[in-house]
Chains A and B, each alone.
Chain A
């Protein structure tokens, strides 16, 4: 069996590793556009950008790929899929024949669509090379302007403050991370960043960027006038890389549409990770969801790798992600909303709390700040289909792991 995986990020690497584990005979080729072997992206906006960590964890070093018999084609762009001949065409080199093709093409940072958005000094953050460029630019005392109050924007702002930059963050909406957390958590994050000296502007806008002086400074036109900045970072979302799938006629709608096994509208082609729009049975979710998270990339990668090797389906976990900002580790389990009851354990003021959302007696979501253990317990309860009482959840003296 010949399997070609296009996209050598986290999801692609887990497909390759898992397939190899269950199918020693499979021929596996992993094609990646970046020159680096597969790595994990979360540290890019934190340790890698600050310099505390020289590189992110590598998921499949070249030597290990060699030992596992996984052919790595790095620095290589796939330009077309010929479904009739079952071939992937590369920018350079002969086409790759496949029996099964996996699209793990991920996404690209959305680029600013304003005058001056392409000037030197204006950045986005998605790849290791982006993070290394930013590492060079984020020097103490410089002025950073972040556009976008989502997770990437907030993590970049926090890292820059810890490095001693002046930071202004402009968000277009009325609160931070509005897509993924309820208002009280947005307010907690706003307070956290203001306390750390970030000038956070909500309902703001950036309309144009111009060079300000010979030293590379930038004049940024915003809703409140002109701001001067040495570095501008746009954290305004991810565009799934669906071009190959669209061009070969696969069903694409907010990502590549897949079934529960990861199969696309062509049974010989699968899609995984940030680019895959998957069905989901999680409470509060729409019928379909495209998840941009580390946990999804790993979990779905493993599930598809196992499916390709003919293994029984792997049960999928609830959506889960985390963010690290300053001394705060925030984790989100499930898809939080304002529905039902929201039970708080701990104290928001002390930045150590957990919000359990209970809808019709069942655990619906958890947001945990510096209380990782409680979130992991909630995951266990959810699997077991149970939920402790409100009194037990609220009482700091209840040892939840004993329930």
Chain B
């Protein structure tokens, strides 16, 4: 049965505004984003090539652009929105408590 757990990911202040932070949580590379003060989390590896999205640029407010081939994903949902990417990223629920970011991992 799948179990869920909220795991500490980083301090809220570790993620700069309108920027990214790459980190690893339980062996999973995760990219954290701060948009308008709100935290989002997705897998950090691009679904197309071998690149870390945390090295990419946030474009048009809510899209992360892969630093290698420039495919884009919606930061809020992980949805692939431009070529060459067609497979979506996994996206993780995130919440902030007392200056700490937690994300929800689901274990199969």
Contacts and interface: CB of A to CB of B under 8 A. Distances in A.
Interface of A: 14, 40, 47, 57, 59, 294-295, 298, 302, 322, 329, 372-373, 376-377, 380, 401
Nearest to A379: B70
Given A302-B83, A329-B68, 4 more contacts: A372-B56, A373-B67, A376-B56, A401-B18
A294 B69 CA distance: 9
Given A57-B48, A322-B68, A372-B67, A380 B57 contact: yes
B57 A298 contact: no
Contact of A373 (B18, B50, B56): B56
Contact of A376 (B48, B65, B83, B84): B65
Interface string B40-57: 000000001110000111
A294 B68 CA distance: 12
Contacts of B49: 57
Contacts of A295: 70
Contact of A298 (B55, B68, B84): B84
A398 to B, nearest CB: 15
Contact of B83 (A298, A372, A377, A401): A298
Contacts of B57: 373, 376-377, 380, 401
B42 to A, nearest CB: 18
Contacts of A401: 18-19, 57
Interface string B1-24: 000000000000000001100000
Interface of B: 18-19, 48-50, 55-57, 59, 65, 67-70, 83-84
Contacts of A376: 56-57, 65, 67, 70
Contacts of A377: 57
Contacts of B67: 372-373, 376
A30 to B, nearest CB: 17
A295 B49 CA distance: 14
Contacts of B69: 294
Nearest to A18: B83
A401 B65 CA distance: 14
A380 B83 contact: no
Nearest to B48: A57
Contacts of B55: 372-373
Nearest to B83: A298
B56 A380 contact: no
B70 to A, nearest CB: 7
Nearest to A47: B50
A372 B59 contact: no
Contact of A380 (B18, B59, B68): B59
B8 to A, nearest CB: 27
A179 B19 CA distance: 36
A294 B50 CA distance: 16
B65 A14 contact: no
Nearest to B70: A376
A146 to B, nearest CB: 24
B92 to A, nearest CB: 23
Contacts of A14: 83
A206 B30 CA distance: 49
28 contacts: A14-B83, A47-B50, A57-B48, A57-B49, A57-B84, A59-B84, A294-B69, A295-B70, A298-B83, A298-B84, A322-B68, A329-B68, A372-B56, A372-B67, A372-B68, A373-B56, A373-B57, A373-B67, A376-B56, A376-B57, A376-B65, A376-B70, A377-B57, A380-B57, A380-B59, A401-B18, A401-B19, A401-B57
Nearest to B84: A298
A298 B85 CA distance: 12
